[in-house]
Amino acid sequence: MKDNRLRGIIALAVVTVLSFGVVYGSKALTKDTSNNGTTNQSGDQTEGGLDVSGFDGITAAREITDGSGAVTGYAVTTACW
């Protein structure tokens, strides 16, 4: 009986460690490391950013490009009130 309980505890520990590894790994893989730039409502602008002044609730926006420089999407940051 003790052997089965010990196996269960070890199995639970292994599954927990693997789960944390998957979560941490997925966060690391999906982290946006591109530096295309942003523009925010306070007027700070860097390369690739879009002007969002005059749009309520939008704090920053930038274009997302692929390796050839073609625009593939947009990243928009909003503020919740």
Instruction: State pLDDT tens for residues 22-45.
Output: 988 887 777 665 555 554 445 554
The amino acid at residue 33 is: T
Same domain, 68 and 52: yes
The three-class DSSP label of residue 77 is strand
Same domain, 6 and 19: yes
pTM exceeds cut of 0.85: no
The three-class DSSP label of residue 64 is strand
Residue 18's pLDDT band (cuts 50, 70, 90): very high
Same domain, 22 and 48: no
Same domain, 26 and 51: no
Residue tagged 């919740």 (tokens)? 80
Same domain, 39 and 24: no
* Mean pLDDT of the residues in the chain: 78
The mean pLDDT value for 3-28 works out to 90
Taking alpha carbons only, the member of 65, 33, 61, 35 closest to residue 47 is 35
Same domain, 38 and 23: no
Residue 12's pLDDT band (cuts 50, 70, 90): very high
Residue 8's pLDDT band (cuts 50, 70, 90): very high
Same domain, 38 and 67: yes
Domain tally, the chain: 2
| Residue 8 belongs to domain spanning | 1-31
Contact 47, 36 (CB under 8 A): yes
